[in-house]
């Protein structure tokens, strides 16, 4: 299995890092295609909205309803059915047939269906297997780019938009010129903040999220943007694919792919910002098994190690490992004390695989969500 992260054997590593972990000087000519800040903004530029479903079609239907209610209407929606076992494909097909008869299509990505010159507003993609969040997003991003999208908006299937969310995200993109624009994430009630921005490398040290009560301006810089509601410039996506072969690193599979992409964007002299007025309600972690699931424990434990190997300089890597291993051992003791052996095993295996540099799907993941 290939090792993930720029510090290992990915093409992005060879392009941007030296053997001692230092960043090489940027080569601006290599990234001229992502310098879109001077591109005239048009309010009718198309947005491709991409939603991944894994055994959660009810949440996905609710998410799609919030998309339908957007004031901004120049969008196309791609829903990837990511190898579910709950007949999600049938339920979602029925929903689209009832709500959007004649305006949708069903594509099997395993059959290599060609992009359309004039695609319909709604597309249901069938993956046949679970590609994870990273791999699933890559499928949708490739198709959206081939079909002419100017922007790509990634949205978790257990998230719901406010009616003006897309308007605010696009306005912030125009004003800031950033490659990635994030939303302010709230819980399902809309009252409690989950994400207003994140620190780098604070997310690796347990100091990730920021909740400024009344931040100045209409947007602010952030160390990374959460993939639960992330607007990405098409030019940046193309440049990332041209350099690395992917938009999101598939070796990470689930969790931390958004932070890794954000670091790549920053390393190329582009920006990540949070839009003050763009708000999204999110059923936090429900799309990856909900509270108590071992899935987040494994991937967060492993992928933080891989991020540190790939994106921290030598002093910060030493500091990270001095901090991380003892705190994970304390976490293991806590799980053992509570006899939560599923979480214990997930953290332990995440540590082993992280320090061995192993990426991809967890061997015990089976058919779990992407």
Sequence-distant contacts of 103-107: CB under 8 A, at least 24 apart: none
pLDDT value, residue 284: 62
Rounded CA separation 319/358 (Å): 22
The pLDDT value given to residue 43: 44
User: For the residues of 13-72, what is the DSSP string, one character each?
Assistant: HHHHB-TTSPBPPP-GGGGGGG--TTSPP-TT--EEEEEEESS-HHHHHHHHHHHHT-S-
Can you give the pLDDT at residue 256? Answer: 96
CA 96 to CA 90: how far, in whole Å? 10
Place of tokens 């992502």: 34
pLDDT of residue 290: 57
User: Measured in whole angstroms, how far is the alpha carbon of residue 325 from the centre of its chain?
Assistant: 26
Per-residue confidence (pLDDT) for residue 253, from 0 to 100: 96
Pairwise CA distance, residues 197 & 209, whole Å:
6
Positive or negative: CA dihedral 147, 82, 57, 345: negative
Q: For 369, left (φ over 0), alpha (ψ -120 to 50), or beta?
A: beta
User: What is the dotted CATH code of the domain comprising 28-288?
Assistant: 3.90.550.10
Beta bridge partners of 184: 279
The pLDDT of residue 210 is 59
Q: Which of 357, 204, 209, 206 is nearest to 284 (CA)?
A: 209
Residue count of the chain, please give it.
370
pLDDT in tens, 84-100: 999 999 999 999 999 99
- pLDDT at site 363: 87
Cα 328 from Cα 331, distance rounded (Å): 5
Q: What is the pTM of this model?
A: 0.85
Structure confidence at residue 211 (pLDDT): 59
Contacts of 116 (CB under 8 A, 6+ apart): 105, 147
Query: What residues are paired with 181 via a beta bridge?
Result: 231, 273
pLDDT at 34: 40
C-alpha count within 13 angstroms, C-beta hemisphere, residue 220: 16
Mean pLDDT by 10 residues, the chain (370 residues): 38 36 32 37 72 95 97 97 95 97 93 84 95 96 96 97 98 96 94 91 78 75 95 97 97 96 96 96 68 88 97 97 96 96 96 97 67
Q: What is the pLDDT of residue 209?
A: 60
Token digits of residue 81: 């059915």
Containing 224, the helix (H) or strand (E) segment is: none
Tell me how far apart the alpha carbons of residues 280 and 62 are, in angstroms, rounded to a whole number: 13
- Do the Cβ atoms of 50 and 155 come closer than 8 Å? yes
> Where do the structural domains in the chain lie, given as residue ranges?
28-288
Helical H segments across the chain, by residue range? 11-16, 57-68, 88-99, 132-146, 165-176, 234-244, 257-267, 294-311, 314-337, 341-356
Residue 163 token pair: 């009616």
């Amino acid at each position: 299995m290939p090792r993930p992260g720029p510090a290992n054997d990915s093409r992005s590593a060879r392009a941007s890092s030296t053997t001692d972990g230092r960043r090489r000087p940027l080569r601006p000519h290599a990234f001229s295609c992502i310098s879109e800040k001077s591109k005239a903004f048009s309010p009718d530029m198309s947005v491709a909205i991409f939603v991944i479903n894994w055994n959660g079609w009810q949440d996905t239907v609710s998410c799609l309803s919030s998309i339908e209610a957007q004031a901004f209407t120049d969008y196309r929606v791609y829903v990837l059915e990511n190898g579910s076992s709950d007949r999600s494909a049938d339920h979602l097909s029925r929903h689209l047939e009832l709500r959007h008869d004649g305006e949708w299509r069903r594509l099997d990505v395993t059959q290599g269906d060609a992009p359309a010159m004039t695609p319909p507003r709604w597309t249901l993609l069938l993956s046949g297997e679970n590609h994870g969040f990273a791999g699933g997003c890559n499928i949708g991003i490739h198709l959206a780019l081939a079909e002419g999208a100017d922007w790509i908006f990634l949205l978790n299937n257990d998230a719901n938009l406010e009616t003006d969310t897309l308007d605010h995200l696009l306005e912030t993109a125009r004003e800031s010129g950033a490659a990635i624009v994030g939303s302010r994430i709230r819980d399902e009630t809309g009252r409690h903040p989950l994400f207003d921005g994140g620190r780098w490398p604070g997310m690796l040290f347990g100091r990730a999220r920021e909740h400024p009560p009344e931040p100045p301006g209409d947007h602010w810089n952030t160390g990374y943007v959460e993939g639960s509601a992330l607007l990405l410039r098409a030019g940046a996506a193309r440049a990332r694919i041209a350099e690395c072969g992917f938009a999101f690193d598939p070796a990470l599979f689930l969790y931390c792919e958004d932070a890794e992409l954000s670091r790549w964007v920053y390393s190329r002299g582009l920006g990540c910002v949070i839009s003050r007025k763009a708000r999204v309600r999110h059923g936090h972690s429900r799309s990856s098994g909900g509270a108590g699931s071992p899935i987040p424990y494994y991937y967060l434990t492993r992928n933080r190690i891989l991020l540190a190997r790939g994106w921290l300089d030598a002093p910060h890597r030493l500091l990270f490992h001095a901090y991380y291993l003892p705190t994970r051992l304390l976490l293991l003791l806590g799980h053992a004390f509570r006899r939560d052996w599923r979480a214990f095993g997930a953290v332990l295996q995440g540590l082993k695989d992280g320090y061995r540099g192993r990426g991809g799907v967890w061997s015990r993941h089976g058919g779990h969500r992407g």
